[in-house]
Amino acid sequence: MPGSFHGIDLASRALRSFQRAIDVSGQNVANVNTRGYSRQAVDFAATDPVSFFSTNRQFLGTGVGITSVNRIRDMLLQGRQHQVTASLHQFLTSSGSLREVESVYNEPGPEGISNALDQFFNSWSGLASAPTDPAARMQVRTKAQTLIDRMKTAYRSLQDLKTQSQTEVQSTIGRINELATQVGELNSAIRAAKVQGASPNDLMDRRDAAISELSSLIQVNTAENSDGTMSVFASQFTLVDSFGAKSYPTSVNPATMEATDGTNTFSIRGGKLAGLLTGIVQSDQSMAQLDDMANQIRAQVNSLHRTGTNTPGTPPVAANLNFFAQNDPPALPMTGVMTLNLSNEVLSSPANIMTSVTGLAGDGGLALSISGLKNATMMGGKTLSNYHKENMAALGQQITYHQGARDTQTAIATQIENQQQAISGVSLDDEMANMLRFQRSYQAAARMLSIFDQVTEDLIGMVR
């Protein structure tokens, strides 16, 4: 049975509700620039009616109440967003790293290894044509030194890139663990709030932001648990569950794209971490290719150069001089770019550069053979310069692919972000309209209250 002050109660409930609604709009306006903030909306519901008896049983409304303050967010879209963020950042990082690897080579400019290689072999042709000319001899030594320098510079830069990427892998894993811990802590706070029946919207936003950053580092899947906590998985590794966070293993194998904690291995998919690993693998591969080239150049040039002689005689006696420094068998042969140097003999005097098969000063036959190495298929059926060129082309294609993927993922990410923004983003126009509406509603409720007040006053005045 509604009492005499039913109307006043009803009006005051309405005032309170509209007041809260204006507050929520205010909160939305205040956070218009906050990243990851989801706009909040008030759910109004008519409060439970009271019954009274007229000719039969009737119900009378008691006004309005707020059932919940919701955050407006599309969770399905959000899951999709995490996947796309992971791919986007993977390709952002990988295309960046690959471009850095590429820049090491200076190709296809005249400052590249390719040009140095051509000029080195060409200088031998020059020496073959003028074997008695000391300038031609110096030219061979200079061009050889240039080739060595360019290969070593490239190799060193690749090593630096690799080290840098490795450091970054570790700091990325560090950040992943920090974020996982954050998610774990937010999980506890959210669970505690949920137990009290509240909806901790802002905490959930912060958790979403943390997971969003997490997915830019490594691809994660999430699952919401019944107690409001969120479990986070990076492939098979459980990063966060309802009990808390676990540290991601720091031992990473770039070639297999796997992390291992000693007993189990977990494949790394997506995110900056995967992108960094692509860069490391490419650096390794490029260094191995340079090593192969250096080894072949050293072995092939030396094996011809050693047969050369500068003392005429029948039969001519080979001088057994190396052009590039090389340990004589049976000691271990030198390998790799970093040990590619001119031999001490050639360094001490250009006269020790052999040009001759017969030993006669005007014979350039040997130099011509060495120059001919440019057309020799020594790199698995390819000439040196073709091998290098194909490696460059392959690298270029890979970069094009990664950049293409990056651009595609950027477009998708933007689209999803726009969709999410369309749902969750705060629109000032919207909020202003809402505020006007709630203000007007508040005014109406206030007017209602004064009418009920008058009615009540009339009632009291009646019996005077």
Q: Hey, what long-range contacts does 293-297 have (CB within 8 A, 24 or more apart)?
A: 293/151, 293/337, 293/379, 293/384, 293/387, 293/388, 294/151, 294/336, 294/337, 294/339, 294/340, 295/335, 295/336, 296/378, 296/379, 296/384, 297/147, 297/324, 297/340, 297/384
- Contact between 310 and other proteins per CB under 8 A: no
Q: Is the separation of the CB atoms in 115 and 299 below 8 Å?
A: no
Q: Hey, what long-range contacts does 445-454 have (CB within 8 A, 24 or more apart)?
A: 445/11, 445/14, 445/15, 445/18, 446/11, 446/15, 448/7, 448/10, 448/11, 448/14, 449/8, 449/11, 449/12, 449/15, 451/7, 452/5, 452/7, 452/8, 452/10, 452/11, 453/8
Residues 94 and 110: their CA atoms lie apart, in Å, by 27
Which of the stretches 199-207, 323-331, 355-363, 446-454 binds other proteins when contact is defined by CB under 8 A? 355-363
Alpha helices in 223-363 (DSSP H): 271-305, 344-348
Judged by CB under 8 A, the residue of 69, 192, 378, 423 near other proteins is 423
DSSP secondary-structure letter at 64? E
Bridge partner list, 71:
40
Question: Would you tell me the crossing angle of helices 365-372 and 271-305 to the nearest 10 degrees?
Answer: 160
**Site mask, other proteins, residues 121-150, x = CB under 8 A?**
-xx-xx-xxx-xx-xx--------------
What is the distance of C-alpha 267 from the center of its chain? 16
Which of the stretches 99-107, 148-156, 179-187, 328-336 binds other proteins when contact is defined by CB under 8 A? 99-107
Judged by CB under 8 A, the residue of 49, 110, 174, 333 near other proteins is 110
- Contact between 304 and other proteins per CB under 8 A: no
Neighbours of 457 (CB within 10 A): 11
Residues 234 and 215: their CA atoms lie apart, in Å, by 9
**Site mask, other proteins, residues 34-73, x = CB under 8 A?**
-----x----------------------------------
Which of the stretches 48-56, 262-270, 322-330, 360-368 binds other proteins when contact is defined by CB under 8 A? 360-368
The site for other proteins, by CB under 8 A, has a size of 65
Q: How far is the CB of 259 from other proteins (least distance, A)?
A: 29
Q: How far is the CB of 432 from other proteins (least distance, A)?
A: 5
Q: How far is the CB of 437 from other proteins (least distance, A)?
A: 12
Q: How far is the CB of 166 from other proteins (least distance, A)?
A: 24
- Contact between 107 and other proteins per CB under 8 A: yes
Bridge partner list, 43:
68
Element (H, E) at 191: helix 134-195
- Contact between 80 and other proteins per CB under 8 A: no
Judged by CB under 8 A, the residue of 172, 302, 385, 409 near other proteins is 385
Question: Which residue lies nearer to other proteins by CB, 310 or 326?
Answer: 310
Q: How far is the CB of 392 from other proteins (least distance, A)?
A: 5
Judged by CB under 8 A, the residue of 62, 242, 260, 403 near other proteins is 403
Q: How far is the CB of 134 from other proteins (least distance, A)?
A: 8
- Contact between 297 and other proteins per CB under 8 A: no
Residues 281 and 287: their CA atoms lie apart, in Å, by 10
- Contact between 361 and other proteins per CB under 8 A: yes
Which residue is it, tokens 């991601």?
248
Q: How far is the CB of 154 from other proteins (least distance, A)?
A: 13
Which of the stretches 84-92, 217-225, 339-347, 371-379 binds other proteins when contact is defined by CB under 8 A? 371-379
Q: How far is the CB of 422 from other proteins (least distance, A)?
A: 5
Dihedral sign (CA 423, 429, 432, 438)? negative
- Point out which residues bind other proteins (CB under 8 A): 32-33, 39, 98-99, 102-103, 105, 107-110, 112, 114-115, 118-119, 122-123, 125-126, 128-130, 132-133, 135-136, 312, 356, 358, 360-364, 368, 371-372, 375, 385, 389, 392-393, 395-397, 399-400, 403, 414, 418, 421-430, 432-433, 436
